Structures are given as C-alpha cells and as structure tokens.
Chains A and B, each alone.
Chain A
Amino acid sequence: MNTENSSPQFSICILEEQTQLTLADLCRACAVHEAQIIELVDIGVLEPLSREPIHWRFDGVSVLRARMALRLQRDFEIDLAGAALALELLDEIESLRARLRAMGDDRHGDDAEQKMI
C-alpha cells in the first residue's frame, strides 16, 4: 500500500455556513436540468436564501440534499415528492438520534424485587 502525504494547501469551507451557490452552480454540481432543481424547491427539499429564481442562492449543503433526493428517486423508482418525504423522515430520525445521545441513551434499569399487594 502506498502512502501519499499532502499539506493543507487546498481551500476548506464548512458547507452549511460558508458556501453559496446559484441555480446554475447547483445544476452543474448535480448534473441535472434547471427544471429538476426548481421542482426540488417547489417540493421544499431545497430552500433558496432569496425569492426570485434569477437571484436564487443556495447554501452549500443543498448540493448534498439535492443529490440525495435524486438518488432516492432513481434507486427506489419513486417520485420526487416521495423522495422528499423520505428525506424529511431521515432528517427527523437523525435529529432524534442526536437528541437521544444528548440525553444519554445508556440508561436501563436494574431488575427490582417485587410482590403484588
């Protein structure tokens, strides 16, 4: 196995906070037509940061969300509304899991001695 080292010379950004994409950027990144991105916005999978399509800006994580919705649509042979529903439920599961971890999900009790009165 070969090992290759490289130093931090590439640009780094937090996708959720530091990137903005135009509609055209997003189409390119997902390799789809504008119509499909517009449909994803109509369905509510993507939320542009401004109203008018010409001025639409998306945060960086939109790329990942759009691609995931499109993958779900293709692989499960469902429509985008179905993919959107799946995406929403997956988000909810993830946030519940995070909640559960924050609460400490390792709490289980000891068996107690009991007698019915």
Chain B
Amino acid sequence: MDYKDYYKILGVARDATQDDIKRSYRKLARKYHPDVSKEANAEALFKELGEAYEVLKDTEKRAAYNQLGDNWKGGQEFRPPPDWNAGFEFSGGHTGGDAKDYSDFFGSLFGRDFRKDGDGRASFHAKGQDHHAKVLIDLEDTYYGATRAITLRVPVVDAQGHVITRERVLNVNIPKGIREGQHIRLSGQGSAGMGEGKAGDLYLKIELRSHPLYRVDGKDLYLDLPVAPWEAALGATVKVPTLGGIVELKIPEGSVSGRKLRLKGRGIPSDPPGDCYVMLEIMLPPADTESAKDLYRKMAQELNFNPRAKMGV
C-alpha cells in the first residue's frame, strides 16, 4: 500500500492552520471538480483531494496522521506501525463525500468501517449505481446510424478481495441524428442492484471525432469551400461534397471570400434536419510561370483595384 502525503495533495505546509487547509481545499476543489474541470484525470484527483481534506480538516484525524512522522514520501510503500494510533480517540463517522472511494491507505489508518459508512444500505433493496462514460464517434456514424463496440473498464473486486480491472465490451446502436454532447441511456447496464433492487443505468455522452472536412455546431455543419477568383467573380456552378453525397452548388456572381451559403437540410439528420453552411474561400492561382505572372500584372494595370480603400490607405 502506498503512503499518501495529504499535505502535499492539498498544497499546504505541515504546520498550516485549519483555515489554510480549508482555503486550499476549496481552491483546488474548484480546479479539479469533475463537473467543472477540463483536466483529463480530474475525477481521480478530486477523490484524492477529498480524502486528504477528510483527514486534515479533522483535528483528531490530522493529529493521528501527523503521528506517522514526516519522513514518508507520497507513493512510498507503507505499513502502519503497531500502536500508531494509541491514545487517539476518534469521534467516529466521516463527515461527507463518498467514503467508499477512499484509498487502502486511509482504510488502514482509520479503519475499514469508515469506508463502509457511506454504503450502509447493504441490507436494503437499492437500485445499482449509474455509470457514466464518454464515447467518441465519427460524424458519419450520426449521419447514417451505426453499431459501435464500446470498451469500458470496470473496476471489480475479485475472490481474493483485490480490485482488478475488467474490460466489458458493449455493442451499442448509435441512433441516427445524435448530436455532440447528447447522452444515450442504456437501461440496466450500470452496477448491479442490491437485494431486489434494479441494476443501474449506463449513460454515454456523445463526442464527435473531428472531421477532415466538416466542423459541427449542433446539427449544422460548416464546410470551407475553395473557389477560384473567377468562379467567385463571375458566378459558377461547382460540386460540393456533403455527407449524403455530392451536390451542385450555385455560386452567385460577385461573391466575396468568407461568403456563407446554405445547403438547406444537408446537416445532421433530424426533424427538421440541420443545414450545411458552405464558406467560400477564394484561392489564388499560383504565379509560378511567366504567363501566370503576366496575367496578374495585366489585372494590376487594368482593374484599378485597391482592396484597402475602406481603410483610407
């Protein structure tokens, strides 16, 4: 079992006041709270933080923890010394958080009973816990619908009482038209219930893998479409790739770079379906031959064009 340096986790000195500890906890909680944080391992960090605070905010537990001495390093192999907590009396009970998530280190110091407090409903019939996971899909999956094999890693306790990770593969039908940030619920695929309680549900939050052509905003798609200067200036009918296949788009005469044209109903399927916005991006032919350069020189002479006229320069 690894020693946990609760002071380091909370970012405070060993002689910090209770107020310092509270302040630091609150600040770090805002940083690592899984609902708020963008850190990839926010959940683990937040649990660790909660455990550290559970010990240090309580003067009795803190004193007992201090008794271990300050020569330990976080992550060091730890065995509690015999009688380490002699002379300490705990008021008992934990004060909040999900005590069952606390580490073995915590359990060895403050007893397994602490860890069970949060779960004292073993004799009741209770619905199993819901699970949450994210699933990354391609834009094509939401356009056509798809079946995806999703691998979930589930910590389980084996016969010897060790926590092992089991892989679970679920074949999930991705409903057509699902959008980024939406959730799919799989009934009964969470933790098993207690007693006669029903199993919990599994919630999958949909994330879209970035697509080489399209950007996604809700059910609308955005596509940058390169066009030649003469197509924009004179108007043209050009081919545009959409998720449903190639369509022909009419570029109006006199279009400027950045002009946004809408292909109605060519976005993500829905009722009504999303749209596909085509943003014109005027590409210049390279002036890499003498005749191409001549053409540019001729334009410069004949067009009398100052693109910065509006800036007064």
Q: Which residues of A contact B (CB under 8 A)?
A: 1-8, 10-17, 19, 28, 60-61, 64, 68, 71-72, 74-76, 86, 90, 94, 98-99, 101-104
Contact A98 B175 (CB under 8 A): no
Given A8-B172, A13-B184, output 12 extra A-B contacts at Cβ < 8 Å: A1-B166, A3-B166, A7-B171, A12-B175, A12-B185, A14-B184, A15-B185, A76-B29, A90-B35, A101-B215, A102-B217, A103-B215
Contact A2 B167 (CB under 8 A): yes
Contact B166 A76 (CB under 8 A): no
A3-B35 CB under 8 A given contacts A10-B189, A13-B185: no
Interface residues of B in 69-117 (CB under 8 A from A): 96
Contacts of A76 in B (CB 8 A): 26, 29-30, 33
Contacts of A1 in B (CB 8 A): 164-167
Bound CA span A15–B185, Å: 6
Interface residues of B in 145-172 (CB under 8 A from A): 147, 164-172
Contact B26 A4 (CB under 8 A): no
Q: Can you list 22 contacts pairing A with B, beta carbon distance less than 8 Å?
A: A1-B167, A3-B166, A3-B167, A3-B169, A6-B169, A7-B171, A8-B173, A10-B189, A12-B185, A14-B183, A14-B184, A60-B183, A60-B185, A64-B203, A76-B29, A76-B33, A90-B35, A94-B181, A98-B181, A98-B216, A98-B218, A102-B217
Interface of B is mostly: strand
Bound CA span A32–B147, Å: 36
Contacts of A14 in B (CB 8 A): 175, 178, 182-184
Contact B172 A12 (CB under 8 A): yes
Contacts of A74 in B (CB 8 A): 96
Bound CA span A99–B183, Å: 19
Cβ of B118 within 8 Å of any chain A Cβ, yes or no, is: no
Contact A4 B169 (CB under 8 A): yes
Contacts of A94 in B (CB 8 A): 181
Cβ of B186 within 8 Å of any chain A Cβ, yes or no, is: yes
Contact B167 A75 (CB under 8 A): no
Give the Cβ gap from B197 to chain A, nearest Cβ, in Å: 11
Cβ of B66 within 8 Å of any chain A Cβ, yes or no, is: no
Contacts of B229 in A (CB 8 A): none
Cβ of B128 within 8 Å of any chain A Cβ, yes or no, is: no
Contacts of A101 in B (CB 8 A): 210, 215-217
Bound CA span A106–B183, Å: 27
Give the Cβ gap from B205 to chain A, nearest Cβ, in Å: 9
Bound CA span A26–B167, Å: 31
Contact A15 B184 (CB under 8 A): yes
Cβ of B188 within 8 Å of any chain A Cβ, yes or no, is: yes
A61-B210 CB under 8 A given contacts A1-B167, A4-B168, A71-B35: no
Closest Cβ neighbor of B183 among chain A residues: A15
Cβ of B275 within 8 Å of any chain A Cβ, yes or no, is: no
Give the Cβ gap from B191 to chain A, nearest Cβ, in Å: 14
Contact A68 B181 (CB under 8 A): no
Contact B33 A10 (CB under 8 A): no
From A4, A10, A90, A99, give the contact of B186 (CB < 8 A). Answer: A10
Can you list, as one digit per residue, whether each of B189-227 has a CB less than 8 Å from chain A (1) or not (0)?
A: 100000000000001000000100001111010101000
Cβ of B67 within 8 Å of any chain A Cβ, yes or no, is: no
Bound CA span A12–B170, Å: 12
Closest Cβ neighbor of B205 among chain A residues: A64
Give the Cβ gap from A72 to chain B, nearest Cβ, in Å: 6
Ordered nearest first, which 8 A-B pairs have the shortest CB separation? A102-B217, A15-B183, A102-B215, A3-B167, A8-B171, A16-B182, A2-B166, A11-B187
Bound CA span A34–B275, Å: 41
